[in-house]
């Protein structure tokens, strides 16, 4: 694996190429092989314009939720709601940060989620039935994207362990595999270069002990309301000690499995993104430092405050024991 030497000066926003731009370049290079002389490449903006066209459709309405409020942690400042819902990574809805909030294709109601695989009692969950009948819990978590920006977000949902336990995993269940909805009509990036060159559906995975850890969360709400499409409506994973790409959105399947399942970013660039993806300021991304992050709070996006990144994103006391004896440089 390539490990970049840490530079003496702190990173600026320009030092980190957003994943989308990097992956687009890879795609364009691939495309050029087909004959550069005859192909006119639409610009990124041009492709987006072609694929939109429903721009005036109303944005998904969110509804207030029944959720027990969490205590406000004294050391954390919440990211303003309008930033949490307008600066997103959800490549199925476009690779620019502002694309997902402007795409109005996803129809999250009704929605079913399967819990299956190595379990005694597989079941299919009516997600809206769960939302309507459950008093959800609020969790205020740090979110650290692998691109070196971060937020603090108030999620509403249930612990992942609670749902998995209901299915009664067998002794062969060693990992948990998650899958996002596959429907290019609702998630247009799945049918075009708008999706950043990823093979869809987006898939993710956890080791069973990570999945059963009390911090692992299934969010059905944000800021006390049902999830907006751009944040992964109607149900998504939140694993706060791992890079944001592990927190897979709009899931339709949770499968208990025996072997380590494939994961989307690892498939795309295995030397850059591992299966574990624990936040670790000491292990740089091959193309940038992970020692610090741009916290998105009040104020302009690019004036955002740079702060040190914490081991396991600040959740080390709770989760470090899961990785005892593992070399975290090897298992990045
Ligand atoms: N299906 C799917 N899930 C996804 C992504 C995605 O592109 N597709 N992006 C991931 C990344 S990189 C991050 S940082 C978080 C962002 O979550 P947020 O937009 O709610 O802040 O979602 C993750 N889940
Ligand atoms: Mo991310």
Q: Residue 4 pLDDT > 70, yes or no?
A: no
Please say if the pLDDT value at position 320 is more than 90: yes
Mean pLDDT of 307-321: 98
| Ligand 1 atom closest to the CA of 84, numbered from 1 | 21
Residue range 119-136: mean pLDDT, rounded:
98
Mean pLDDT on 150-156: 98
Q: Of 57-61, 92-96, 105-109, 164-168, give the lowest mean pLDDT range.
A: 57-61
C-alpha 37 to ligand 2 mean position (Å)? 35
The residue length of the chain stands at 332
Beta-strand relationship, 217-222 and 149-159: antiparallel
90 ligand 1 Cβ < 6 A: yes
Choose one of 98, 188, 245 to mutate for the ligand 1 pocket test, by most ligand atoms within 8 angstroms of C-beta: 245
Task: Confirm or reject: Cβ of 91 under 6 Å from ligand 1.
Answer: yes
Instruction: Indicate the pairing of strand 251-257 with strand 175-180.
Output: antiparallel
Tokens encoding 214 = 């009390």
d(CA 300, CA 323): 37
- For atom 24 of ligand 1, which residue has the closest CA? 248
CA of 237, closest atom in ligand 1: 24
323 burial (CB, 10 Å; 0-12 / 13-18 / 19+) is: middle
Q: In the prediction, which pLDDT does 32 show?
A: 42
Locate 298 and state its tokens.
């009040």
Pocket test for ligand 1, best of 16, 154, 246, 249 (most atoms within 8 A of CB): 249
> Are 153 and 143 within 8 A, CB to CB?
yes
Query: If you average pLDDT over every residue of the chain, what do you get?
Result: 87
Closest ligand 1 atom, CA of 249? Answer: 3
Using a 6 Å cutoff on CB, does residue 179 contact ligand 1? Answer: no
Residues 6+ apart with CB under 8 A from 301: 83, 87
Q: Is the pLDDT of residue 54 over 50?
A: no
- Whether residue 15 is predicted with pLDDT greater than 50 in this model: the reply is no
- Per-residue pLDDT of 251-309, as tens digits, reads 999 999 999 999 999 999 999 999 999 999 999 999 999 999 999 998 876 667 899 99
Residue 17 DSSP label: -
What's the CA-to-centroid distance between 248 and ligand 1, angstroms? 6
Environment class of 46 (CB within 10 Å of its CB; exposed 0-12, middle 13-18, buried 19+): exposed
Q: What are phi and psi of 208, to 5 degrees?
A: -60, -40
Determine the distance separating the centroid of ligand 2 and the alpha carbon of 171, expressed in angstroms: 32
Identify the residue with better confidence: 130 or 192.
130
pLDDT beyond 90 at 48: no
Average pLDDT in the 135-156 region? 98
- Whole-prediction pTM: 0.87
Residue 16 pLDDT > 70, yes or no? no
């Amino acid at each position: 694996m390539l490990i970049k030497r840490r530079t003496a000066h702190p990173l600026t926003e320009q030092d980190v190429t957003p994943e989308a731009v990097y992956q687009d370049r890879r795609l364009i290079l691939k495309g050029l092989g087909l004959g550069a002389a005859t192909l006119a490449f639409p610009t990124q903006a041009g492709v987006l314009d072609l694929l939109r066209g429903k721009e005036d459709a109303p944005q998904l309405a969110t509804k207030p939720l029944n959720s027990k409020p969490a205590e406000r942690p004294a050391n954390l400042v919440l990211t303003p709601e309008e930033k949490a819902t307008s600066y997103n990574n959800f490549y199925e809805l476009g690779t620019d940060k502002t694309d997902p909030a402007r795409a109005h294709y996803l129809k999250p109601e009704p929605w079913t989620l399967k819990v299956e695989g190595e379990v005694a009692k597989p079941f299919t969950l009516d997600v809206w039935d769960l939302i309507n009948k459950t008093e959800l819990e609020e969790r205020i978590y740090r979110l650290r994207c692998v691109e070196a920006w971060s937020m603090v977000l108030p999620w509403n949902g249930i612990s992942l362990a609670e749902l998995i336990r209901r299915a009664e995993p067998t002794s062969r269940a060693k990992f948990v595999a998650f899958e996002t909805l596959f429907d290019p009509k609702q998630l247009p990036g799945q049918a075009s270069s708008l999706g950043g060159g990823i093979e869809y559906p987006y898939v993710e995975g956890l080791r069973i002990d990570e999945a059963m850890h009390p911090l692992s969360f299934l969010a059905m709400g944000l800021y006390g309301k049902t999830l907006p499409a751009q944040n992964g409506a109607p149900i998504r994973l939140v694993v706060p000690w791992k890079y944001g790409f592990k927190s897979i959105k709009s899931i339709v399947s949770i499968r208990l499995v025996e072997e380590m399942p494939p994961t989307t970013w690892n498939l795309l660039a295995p030397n850059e993104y591992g299966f574990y993806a624990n936040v670790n300021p000491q292990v740089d991304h091959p193309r940038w430092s992970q020692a610090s992050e741009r916290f998105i709070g009040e104020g302009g996006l690019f004036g955002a405050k740079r702060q040190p990144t914490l081991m396991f994103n600040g959740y080390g006391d709770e989760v470090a024991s899961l990785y005892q004896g593992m070399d975290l440089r090897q298992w990045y």
